[in-house]
Amino acid sequence: MKTDNTSQPDAEILAKYLCGEMNEVEERAFMEEISASEQKLIMLETMKKQWSAIEGYTDNRKPDTSKAWNKLHARLEDDNLIPAKATAGRNKLMPILLRVAAVVLVLIATAVVIFMSQKSETLPPAEMVKLNTVNESNTLVKTLTDGSVIYIAQNSMFSFPKEFETGSRNVGLNGEAFFDIASNPAKPFIIETDEAFIQVLGTAFNVKTQNGNGFELVVDRGKVKVTLKKDPSHSEFVTAGEKISTVKNSLVKTKQSPADANTWYRQRMHFKDESLLNIISVLNRNFNTTFVVGDKQTGDRKLTVTFSNETAATMTELICMTLNLKSQTINGSVVLSDKNTRQH
């Protein structure tokens, strides 16, 4: 065995150690030499773990090392690549070479097992939900699982996962939508369009795409990062009151006047099979309303409804009639609850 700290342990001695065929004196000497090199010690511990992993692998199709070695030796012998002395001593070397071959085969098998294990543990892509508003005459309002609210315009396609992945929140848009994103610094919200990637943490902005023929983003509040898909090195940060557009495969940023503020998404809001709690949350943030639910069960009830410039009183009446609820004004808030529930 070489004593140079940068060299690897001799294959024969290593195989003998892993197979448990060393006596006490040999093992002590082996460990003393290995311990003198941190690199060798790390390598040995790694190989011991790999060896243990293979011993625990229950696949019955284990490699026949004797057959493999005999086949390799015969091939080398036919090609005159083995000296006569080596051939004569073949029987003597066989146990040693078998152990070396076993170590090699073990490491190969370990790699396969680890690869297959990692492959089986890889999660499938998140299942995407697609909302198509081609046949809609209203703005479709969708509250995502993270609390973000998306207002999807007519003739648009919005796609999102049922559950967001651990590190980010990825969605897709073709058309126009207004985004009111729930803040989560540890989990960026990323929108993919035909022409750009939009990354946000918590903000509100309007995005309009034209099937690859144009892109426009206007920030209502917060800060947004826009990156061109054709040229990822080209990115721009857009803040409240600014607009960014694509012009000849480049990003152009301009100021947005208050008179051009986006209000289209509030005109005719359509909720489809949304919980009452999500609906009143959207109404409260967009209108001068203070709806609350009397209990969780009432808040979880689903509702499909459209609001078109209604007053708070009309909204209250529409919700109560649809879900058979009652309303009471308590401390300035309109409390919606089941008719059989008593208020305290």
pLDDT digits (tens, 9 = 90+) for 158-175: 999 988 988 889 999 999
Task: Give the contacts of 70 (CB within 8 A, at least 6 positions apart).
Answer: none
Residue that wins the pLDDT comparison between 193 and 213: 193
Domains annotated on the chain, with CATH: 11-121 (no CATH), 128-260 (2.60.120.1440), 267-338 (3.55.50.30)
- The pLDDT value given to residue 112: 44
Other beta carbons less than 10 A from residue 204's beta carbon: 20
Provide the pLDDT confidence category of residue 8 given band limits of 50, 70 and 90. very low
Residues 87-139 pLDDT 10s: 555 555 555 555 555 555 555 444 444 444 444 344 455 678 999 998 888 99
- The pLDDT value given to residue 238: 94
- The pLDDT value given to residue 24: 73
Residues 309-330 pLDDT 10s: 889 999 999 999 999 999 999 9
Give CA–CA dist 328/310, Å, rounded: 19
Q: pLDDT over 70 for what percent of the chain?
A: 65
State yes or no: pLDDT of 21 exceeds 90.
no
Give CA–CA dist 16/138, Å, rounded: 76
- The pLDDT value given to residue 199: 94
Mean per-residue pLDDT, 179-192:
93
State yes or no: pLDDT of 145 exceeds 90.
yes
- The pLDDT value given to residue 322: 94
Q: Which amino acid is at 148?
A: S
Mean pLDDT value across the chain? 78
328 and 343 Cβ atoms separated by less than 8 Å: yes
10 and 4 Cβ atoms separated by less than 8 Å: no
